[in-house]
Chains A and B, each alone.
Chain A
Amino acid sequence: MLEARNLSKSYNGTAALQGLNLLVKPGDIFCLLGANGAGKTTTINLFLNFIEPSGGEAVIGEYRVTDAPLETKKLLAYIPENLMLYPNLTGIENLDYFSSLAGKKYNQQELGKFLAEAGLQEDAHAKRINTYSKGMRQKVGIAISLAKQAKVLLLDEPTSGLDPKASNEFAALLKKLSQQGVATLMATHDLFRAKETGTHIGIMKEGKLVETLTTEQINHADLEKLYLQHMN
């Protein structure tokens, strides 16, 4: 579903990503770990076509991202670290707006259902976004991906700054989506959450994917050990 083939990106000769190869299949939750500047966000930006690759290709579904950016964007949903919406509009209006940009049209009831499914409490649906907490905004983001019927989820440190309860709810949502066949690529610093929710883990260092493993292969303690081993 989501594939990087020898994907590279360099800025003025400095490599931010070197020869990345990875495959995320439907139902997989692939967690990218690594220090700041290891190339996690660059990878996600390349899948979003926000930046041009210097080499290799990013593929979503059957399309290369650079060839068919609009087609690939129909398939994916994106939740950045700090999801910003239109503060003047309510949660349900934001959802309607963004899903219409994605070419979907729903009635109020359906929109409300998506928000509820994403775990947003009912009384917040008609409140303006400027009254929302970060966790609530992330839930609208999830609702957008539900409404969009995304096959691919790109998450850039989505749980950073969330309280443990919100973080836990978020993880549960991801698992649910995964069961529905959504392929997820998530950059994160949260080793615990990666082990708990992820199906695969990749460790990145200085633009390279230095380790790939499935979460079943490793326990919490070993994952931390392995991670630190790479960082030092």
Chain B
Amino acid sequence: MANRQQFKYEWLGLLRDRWVLILSLLLLLVCIYAAYNGKEKVAERNQPIAKAMDEMKASDEQYKALIDSVAQGLKTNLPAWQNPQRLNVIGQRAARVAAFESQPLALVSTGQSDLFTHLVKPRLYGEALTLGFSELSNPVQLLFGNFDLAFVCIYLLPLLILAFSYNVLSAEKESGALRLTLAQPIQVTQWLLNKLLLRFVVLAVIVVIAFNVSLMTTGLNVVSEFSPVMKITLALLAYMLFWFGLSFWVNLRGQSSGSNAVVLVSLWVLIVLLIPAMISQLANNLYPVPSRVGMISELRYAEAEAQKNANQILESYYRDHPELAPTDTSAQKLYPFWLSYFASQDEIRKAVNPILSEYESQLHKQQQTVDQLRFLSPAVLLQNIFNESAGTSSRHYNSYRQQVVVFAGEWKNYFLPRMFRNELMKKEWMDELPHFSFDANKIEKQYTADVLALLLYGFAGFVLSFLLYRNYVTEKVLLT
């Protein structure tokens, strides 16, 4: 009963405090702005993809018509080397768009999306594909530069919680009301816990409403995305609980409001800024990614060597792939240059493979280190959850890269046997060309581990403080 009355009057007190209303409205506005910002980012990402897709469709139609015309012996104004009946022309010029389209919740977290490309066209020849993906060396990027919902929740929300709770005990001590309170038959720890719990519930309701409303303003269907939104919400609540727990502990220390504020802001800097930066640095120091420039120069060298020996290479290539060798040697006239080129490409690939796999394995180790160290900071855990739900995590981009490499192989394998068989492109083949679609199911899910760790952090603060200050001496609170 005492608790119920306490909640009632705490609630009344909060309700009559103009700041609570102002901060709630501010939070809502900030969330709406962040969601809008996130939506803009997603649009920036999807626009080039849509454009490339449209272009691809248009050019496919054009090629079909051209192939038809050439097959019927009509004259086209294309130079001979662009003859659409040539498989190498199609394989190069009608490349498929391998796009990483945004997932429905992409707007909540920019994550790695502003670092990586979402659009690649694997062609039949040219630079090795693994090199075509901008920056690979930093899979961590625990810099949250963008003003998106993840930023608001990870960075700003803790500050709001601290502003809401840093002086719950000290303000009463400083105003003098605490003396009267402590003259009542109550446990100060329980009484403070009630106060913070109420604030937690009030703020949780505000945050959940602000979060969902801001998502709805972007046109996202919260109902159809219920499960991922709920997952983020649960993680968010655990994260909030963690900060309230921290505040509970600092309050119980019984220091002045000013001292509480300094301690809590320092903890905020540590947890939100320093630890993530340290994790990133540590991963880079332990497993530095080998130089990309070195890799490229080795690749060029291997390419030049292979080019020199193109003829021998083709012979040895035929030895390795007897099924591709022409039965009638005089008939192989359509693609002589390309065939030795591909054979040499094969050699190049073999030569640079160790470099590439070294590069990959370092990257993998680095990512693993980060994966393990993420448990050090609730902020990193929540960022990971946001990125996973948004489909913008490093894991997503690594997977996308690997999937594109696999697709590039498929693309090549479509054309190569046909070229060795000395065939020409047919119109109907245009519709059966291999196409790329990103498979998000291939990505390891870390949500369960993340959210459990967050919940553990959330409750640990309260439980430890409670145990530590169960027999709290009021002398300390009142007379220091």
Tell yes or no: A142 within 8 A of B by CB.
Answer: no
The answer to whether A86 touches B13, judged by C-beta atoms less than 8 angstroms apart, is yes
| Residue A97 at the chain B interface, CB threshold 8 Å | yes
The yes or no answer to A116 lying at the interface (CB within 8 A) is no
Inter-chain contacts of B179 with A (CB < 8 A): 50, 78, 80, 84
Of A48, A76, A88, A93, which is within 8 A of B17 by CB?
A: A88
Going nearest first, the 3 A-B pairs with the smallest beta carbon separation are: A100-B5, A84-B176, A78-B183
For residue B6, CB closer than 8 A to chain A, the reply is yes
Q: Which residues from A are CB-within-8-Å of B183? A: 48, 73, 76-78, 154
Min C-beta distance of A20 to chain B, whole Å? 18
Q: Is B444 an interface residue, CB under 8 A from the partner?
A: no
**Residues of chain B contacted by A93 (CB below 8 angstroms):** 9, 12
Name B14's closest neighbour in chain A (CB-CB): A88
Q: List 27 A-B contacts (CB under 8 A).
A: A48-B183, A50-B182, A50-B479, A73-B183, A73-B185, A73-B186, A74-B185, A77-B183, A78-B179, A78-B180, A78-B183, A80-B176, A83-B180, A84-B176, A88-B16, A89-B13, A89-B16, A93-B9, A96-B5, A97-B6, A98-B181, A100-B1, A100-B6, A101-B6, A101-B186, A103-B2, A154-B183
Residue contact B6 to A51, C-beta cutoff 8 Å: no
Contact A84 B474 (CB under 8 A): no
**Beta-carbon contact of A97 and B5 below 8 Å:** yes
Tell me, rounded to whole Å, the shortest Cβ–Cβ distance linking B20 to chain A: 11
Checking A73, A84, A141 against B184 with a beta-carbon cut-off of 8 angstroms, the contacting residue is A73
Interface residues of B (CB under 8 A from A): 1-2, 4-6, 9, 12-13, 16-17, 175-177, 179-187, 191, 473-475, 478-479
Per the bound structure, the CA–CA distance linking A78 and B479 in Å amounts to 17
Residue of B nearest to A128 (CB): B16
Bound CA span A87–B175, Å? 10
Contact between A86 and B474, CB atoms less than 8 A apart: no
Spell out A's residues near B (CB within 8 Å).
Answer: 48-52, 69-71, 73-74, 76-78, 80, 82-89, 93, 96-98, 100-103, 105, 141, 144, 154
Distance between Cα atoms of A88 and B479 in the complex (Å): 25
Q: Which residue of B lies closest to A71 (CB)?
A: B185
| Distance, CA A50 to CA B472, complexed state (A) | 11
- Shortest C-beta distance, A73 to chain B (Å), equals 4
Which residues from chain B contact A88 at a C-beta distance below 8 Å?
12-13, 16-17
Contacts of B180 in A (CB 8 A): 78, 80, 83-85, 98, 141, 144
Minimum CB distance partner of A76 in chain B: B183
Apart from A73-B185, A101-B2, A103-B185, 13 more pairs, CB < 8 Å: A49-B474, A50-B474, A50-B475, A52-B475, A70-B185, A73-B184, A76-B183, A78-B180, A83-B176, A84-B180, A86-B13, A88-B13, A96-B5
* Distance of A70 from chain B, by nearest CB (Å): 4
Query: What chain B residues lie within 8 Å of A144 (beta carbons)?
Result: 180
Contacts of B176 in A (CB 8 A): 80, 82-84
Complex Cα distance, B185 from A76, in Å, reads 9
Residues from chain A with a CB closer than 8 A to the CB of B4 are 100
The reply to whether A86 and B475 form a contact with Cβ atoms under 8 Å apart is no
Complex CA gap A88/B11 in Å reads 11
In the assembled complex, which residues on chain A have CB atoms less than 8 Å from the CB atom of B1? 100, 103, 105
Is the pair B184, A96 in contact by a Cβ cutoff of 8 Å? no
Instruction: Evaluate contact between A101 and B473: CB separation under 8 angstroms.
Output: no
Query: Which of B5, B6, B176 gathers most chain A CB within 10 Å?
Result: B5
Least CB distance, B194 to chain A, in whole angstroms: 11
Contact B475 A51 (CB under 8 A): yes
Q: Is there an interface contact between B184 and A86, defined as CB atoms closer than 8 Å? A: no
Q: Residue on B with the closest CB to A47?
A: B183
Q: Select the residue from A69, A78, A97, A141 with max chain B CB neighbours within 10 A.
A: A97
Question: Of residues A86, A88, A98, which shows the largest number of chain B Cβ atoms within 10 Å of its Cβ?
Answer: A86
Report the bound CA distance from A82 to B175 in whole Å.
10
Q: How far is the CA of A112 from the CA of B17 in the complex (A)?
A: 25
Which residue in chain B gives the minimum CB-CB distance to A82? B176
Question: Quick check: A89 and B182 within 8 Å, CB to CB?
Answer: no
* Closest-CB distance, B253 to chain A (whole angstroms): 18
Shortest C-beta distance, A198 to chain B (Å), equals 22
State the CA gap A141–B181 with chains docked (Å).
Answer: 12
**Interfacial chain B residues near A71, Cβ < 8 Å:** 185
Residues of B with C-beta under 8 A to A80: 176, 179-180
Residues of B with C-beta under 8 A to A78: 179-180, 183
User: What residues of A have a CB within 8 angstroms of the CB of B5 in the complex?
Assistant: 96-97, 100-101, 105
Q: Which residues of B contact A102 (CB under 8 A)?
A: 2, 184-185
B474 to A89, Cβ gap below 8 A? no
B473 in complex: contacting residue of A52, A73, A89, A100, CB < 8 Å: A52
Q: Which of B16, B17, B180, B186 has the most CB of A within 10 A?
A: B180
A155 to chain B, nearest CB (A): 12
Q: Residues of A contacting B182 with CB < 8 Å?
A: 48, 50
| Contact (Cβ within 8 A) B2 A100 | yes
A89 contacts B185, C-beta separation under 8 Å: no
- A105–B183 alpha-carbon span in the complex (Å): 18
A141 to B186, alpha carbons, bound, how many Å?
18
B418, chain A: closest CB distance, angstroms: 81
Greatest chain A CB density within 10 A among B4, B183, B479 is at: B183
